[in-house]
Amino acid sequence: MSQYYAGYHGIGCVLSVEEFKNFLTSYFTKHPDLTEKEQEEVGIKEYAFKRSNENGIFHIVEISTDYADGMRLLRLNKEDDPAGYCVDLRGKDQYVVFSDYQPDTLEFIRHPKYHDYEDILKEFKGKLESYLPEKFPWDERIGNYSYACYA
């Protein structure tokens, strides 16, 4: 059996390990109805988090340096810092929340869900805003996220 790297990408919002831990603390505080068993299951990749705006669910993907490499974020809102457009995240474990819709699909081309950056920002805030610090750097963390996994 051969082994290889497979590439993955999508519009995402990146959280550091520390930010993810703080997210969990805030999440459990805002959802005290979760049992200890449910809290322990958060490590399971299929865990469905309740959106901050209580309008559905979302998932978080753990990207670990144990199995992934080449992590990069091409920021979508680069007006304030054009030099920081491409952020190299290699060598750092991180957590990523991906957008509901991927703009590179035929379905999206036929029926666009995002018309500008504000639409994407609104979606991520709807998922995460009440669980993250008030001064979370949204513009620095949202973009085209890509990585490779060893398969």
Q: By residue range, what is the domain housing residue 45?
A: 11-150
Number of domains in the chain: 1
- Could you tell me if residue 17 is inside a domain? yes
Question: Residue 4 has what pLDDT?
Answer: 76
pTM above 0.85, yes or no: yes
Q: How far is CA 130 from the centre of its chain?
A: 15
5 part of a folded domain? no
What is residue 83's predicted lDDT score, i.e. its pLDDT? 62
Is residue 25 in some structural domain?
yes
DSSP 73-92: EEES--TT-GGGSEEE-TT-
Q: What is the pLDDT of residue 68?
A: 92
Residue 65 domain-assigned?
yes
* Gap between the Cα atoms of 11 and 98, Å rounded: 6
Output the pLDDT for position 80: 63
The reported pLDDT for the residue numbered 94 is 96
Contact 120, 108 (CB under 8 A): no
Residue 55 lies in a domain: yes
Q: What is the dihedral of CA 24, 69, 58, 32, to 10 degrees?
A: -10
Residue ranges, the chain, pLDDT below 50: 1
